[in-house]
Amino acid sequence: MDSEALIEKINEITSRPTMSDWSLGFCESIVEQLNRGRKLSDKQFEVLTKVFEQNSLDEVEKLKNWSIEYREKYVNDAVLLAKYYTHSGYYTQLASVILSGDVPSYRTFFKMYNNKYAKKIVAESRRPARFMVGDHVIANSLCSHAKIRVCNKSQLVEYKSFHKFKNLGGMVLEIDHGTVLSPAKGAKRYRILPIASTDTFWIEERFVKKGRVNSKKVS
């Protein structure tokens, strides 16, 4: 295929909804190179062929079906994972697309969805909560102020509130079924009101255990 035919074929696919930002940038650089009269390397031609395949009319049709399938089957898990990856700092561009309500690229989404960390996040979100609203819980041996700060990335947790919880425990006010921030067993989040405090904070299930109020400590 000569340079003119390649440029024409590239122009055909650049406006298709299957095109990723990377593919658009790659195609722009290829067109610029061809317009300068420079031939493509074997590797460039190999990559360009893959771009053509990934953005064929068949792939455009699949994308139409993917949009329906995504909204019917995957959108809830996608939002869950987008929150996790926004927190962890990976897949941030994809997470932004998902949280804006747009349908992500099929290939990019499943690259994220099928990795081992994502599977742990989804599994943890579907696991039944160990504690219920109204339960009294206390800190276990793994609990620390630093770990609570990680669970409350956008919220300052005063040490005095943590100290009250560490000594007296607290009440479960809310179970967060839509956010898991750690790919670990027991990462389900609970909003806690420490006894003798008015400040609430989030804590992961793996850092608490069932408790009873110690009346001597309260008094």
Owning domain of residue 188: 136-218
Average pLDDT over residues 81-98: 94
pLDDT value, residue 13: 94
DSSP at 71: I
- Last residue of a domain, which of 108, 126, 144? 126
pLDDT value, residue 211: 85
Pull the structure tokens for residue 147: 């770990």
Percent of the residues in the chain that have a pLDDT greater than 70, as a whole number:
94
**Claim to verify: residue 154 and residue 117 sit in the same structural domain:** no
pLDDT value, residue 219: 47
- Last residue of a domain, which of 78, 96, 126? 126
**Claim to verify: residue 81 and residue 153 sit in the same structural domain:** no
- Last residue of a domain, which of 75, 103, 126? 126
How many other CB atoms are found less than 10 A from the CB of residue 31? 16
Asked whether the predicted pLDDT for residue 213 surpasses 60, the reply is no
Helices (H), 70-212: 75-88, 92-99, 106-113, 116-126, 145-151, 159-168
Asked whether the predicted pLDDT for residue 217 surpasses 60, the reply is no
pLDDT value, residue 214: 55
Query: Phi then psi for 208, rounded to 5 degrees?
Result: -135, 165
Give the integer Cα–Cα distance in Å for 143 and 19.
46
pLDDT value, residue 120: 97
**Claim to verify: residue 144 and residue 211 sit in the same structural domain:** yes
**Claim to verify: residue 51 and residue 62 sit in the same structural domain:** no
Q: Is residue 131 part of a domain?
A: no
Q: Is residue 99 part of a domain?
A: yes
pLDDT value, residue 199: 87
pLDDT band, residue 155 (cuts 50/70/90): low
What's the mean pLDDT when you consider all of the chain? 90
pLDDT value, residue 148: 80
**Claim to verify: residue 214 and residue 140 sit in the same structural domain:** yes
